[in-house]
């Protein structure tokens, strides 16, 4: 029996999974249709998911080829509790991307600045939620 709840917003019962510094698994599709999944840092704000990357990686190429993604965050305390989402990437920008990456470094590592190379080009992706499924 499937007792998942399907909505277009993250219900309060599962919002903690997006507010805690948990890894999200991001699913993309490559140009040839091959699915890819990547554990990734993220944040949730104003009903959107934000992720960050560099322009010369497979994830960036996959998002450009097919700007629609799937995402899941599992509760580490109860692996049968999760939030699964999918939706379109509605914005891809370098504007504010380094600052966003610093925000993620603070969230996940407690650092004020991301410990990567100086002057690295970063990309920020804004993802709208077309469907949200929760369980547990």
User: Where does 3-122 have alpha helices with state H?
Assistant: 16-19, 58-65, 97-109
Q: Which of 42, 47, 6 is nearest to 134 (CA)?
A: 6
Average pLDDT over residues 103-114: 94
> Are 65 and 30 spatial neighbours (Cβ–Cβ below 8 Å)?
yes
Q: What CATH number is given to the structural domain containing 32? A: 2.30.110.10
For residue 119, the model assigns a pLDDT of 86
> Are 11 and 17 spatial neighbours (Cβ–Cβ below 8 Å)?
no
Contact partners, residue 1, CB within 8 Å, separation at least 6 = none
Average of per-residue pLDDT values in the chain: 92
pLDDT in tens, 34-85: 999 999 999 999 999 999 999 999 999 999 999 999 999 999 999 899 999 9
Contact partners, residue 103, CB within 8 Å, separation at least 6 = 43
pLDDT band at 4 (very low <50, low <70, confident <90, very high): low
pLDDT in tens, 6-15: 568 999 999 9
Above pLDDT 70, what percent of the chain? Answer: 95
For residue 31, the model assigns a pLDDT of 86
Number of independent structural domains in the chain:
1
Beta bridge partners of 47: none
Task: Give me the half-sphere count of Cα atoms (radius 13 Å) on the Cβ side of residue 133.
Answer: 10
Q: How far is CA 64 from the centre of its chain?
A: 15
Enclosing domain of residue 87: 5-135
> Are 26 and 52 spatial neighbours (Cβ–Cβ below 8 Å)?
no
For residue 1, the model assigns a pLDDT of 36
């Amino acid at each position: 029996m499937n007792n998942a709840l399907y909505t277009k917003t993250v219900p309060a019962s599962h919002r903690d999974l997006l507010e805690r510094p948990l890894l999200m698994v991001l699913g993309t599709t490559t140009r040839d249709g091959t699915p890819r999944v990547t554990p990734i840092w993220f944040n949730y704000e104003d009903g959107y998911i934000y992720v960050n990357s560099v322009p010369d990686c497979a994830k960036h190429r996959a998002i450009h080829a097919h700007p629609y993604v799937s995402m899941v965050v599992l509760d580490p305390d109860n692996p049968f509790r999760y939030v699964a989402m999918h939706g379109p990437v509605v914005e891809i920008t370098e504007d504010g991307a380094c600052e966003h990456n610093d925000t993620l470094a603070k969230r996940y590592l407690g650092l004020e600045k991301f410990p990567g190379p100086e002057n690295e080009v970063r990309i920020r992706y804004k993802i709208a939620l077309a469907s949200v499924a929760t369980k547990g």
